[in-house]
Amino acid sequence: MRGELIFNIVLFAVSLFLYYVAGTFRQFAPYTKLGPGFWPKGILLGIIFLSGILLFKNIIPLVKHEVKKSSTGSVQEPYRLFLVIVVSFAYAFGMGIFGFILSTIVFQIVLLYLLKVKRVFLIIFVSLLNTAMLYVLFIVALNMLLPPGVGIFRTISLFFY
């Protein structure tokens, strides 16, 4: 319940902010009535109104001390999920620096460790196998460009693609 309330507050606040931003879009003479802000403002008004209703519905039970048990499943071991998300973003930012191959291998090793895979051999084997499959599919078969990284990592990547 509390999580949903926070989510709705964030949604409401961000919508208000974006409505203000949409009001600052530059207008062009022929399109003053239907400028770039016309459509987004209409949508944001709808979101603000509806999220306001949701906020009201969330706050009333709290005021009346009638907190309902959440019908959605609670997150078990939230710290683990948080770490997985952090690692995901580290992968996203790291690929540009370390290149596709190295960052993908490291990402999967860390992810499998976080998901309680204990056998080191399997962690490394599966990471290498998955990366090899992605390499064959995207780079060899489909000839797609994937980030090679920078500096020495780029030099290493160029051995492969």
Partner 1 sequence: MGFYSCFQPGNFLALAGGTIAGIVAGAIPGLDCSVATALFLTLTYNMTPPQAFVFLAGIYCGGVYGGQIPAILFRVPGASEAVMTTLDGYPMAQKGQAGKALGVGLLCSLLGGLFGTMILILLAPPLADLALEFGPAEYFGLSVLGLSCISSLGARSQIKAIISGLLGLLFATVGLDQITGMQRFTFGTGMLQGGINFIPAVIGLFAAAEVYNQISLKRYEIGGVRDEKKSNKVKVKLPSFSELWPIKWSMLRSAIVGTWIGILPGVGATTAAIVGYAQAVRFSKHPEKFGTGIIEGIAAPETANNAATGGAMVPLLALGIPGSATTAIMIGAFYLHGLQIGPMFLQQNKPLAYTIFAAMALANVIFFVLGFFAIKAFAKVLELRYPYLAANILAFCAVGATALGDVYGMKMMFIFAILGFFMEKYGFPVAPMVLGLVLGPIAEPGLRRALLIADYDVWLVLTRPITAFFLILSIFSLLTPVLRNLFSRRKGNGMMDIKRQD
Position among 9, 16, 50, 102 found at the interface with partner 1 (CB under 8 A): 50
Q: How far apart are CA 27 and CA 42, in angstroms?
A: 16
92 binds partner 1 (CB under 8 A): yes
Q: How far is the CB of 115 from partner 1 (least distance, A)?
A: 4
60, 67, 84, 136: which one binds partner 1 (CB under 8 A): 84
Q: Considering the rule CB under 8 A, would residue 17 count as an interface residue with partner 1?
A: no
Binding footprint of partner 1 on the chain (CB under 8 A) = 3-4, 7-8, 11, 18, 21-22, 25-26, 28, 31, 33-40, 43-44, 46-47, 50-51, 53-54, 71-73, 75-78, 80-81, 84-85, 88-89, 91-93, 95-96, 100, 104, 107-108, 111-112, 115-117, 126-127, 130-131, 134, 137-138, 142-147
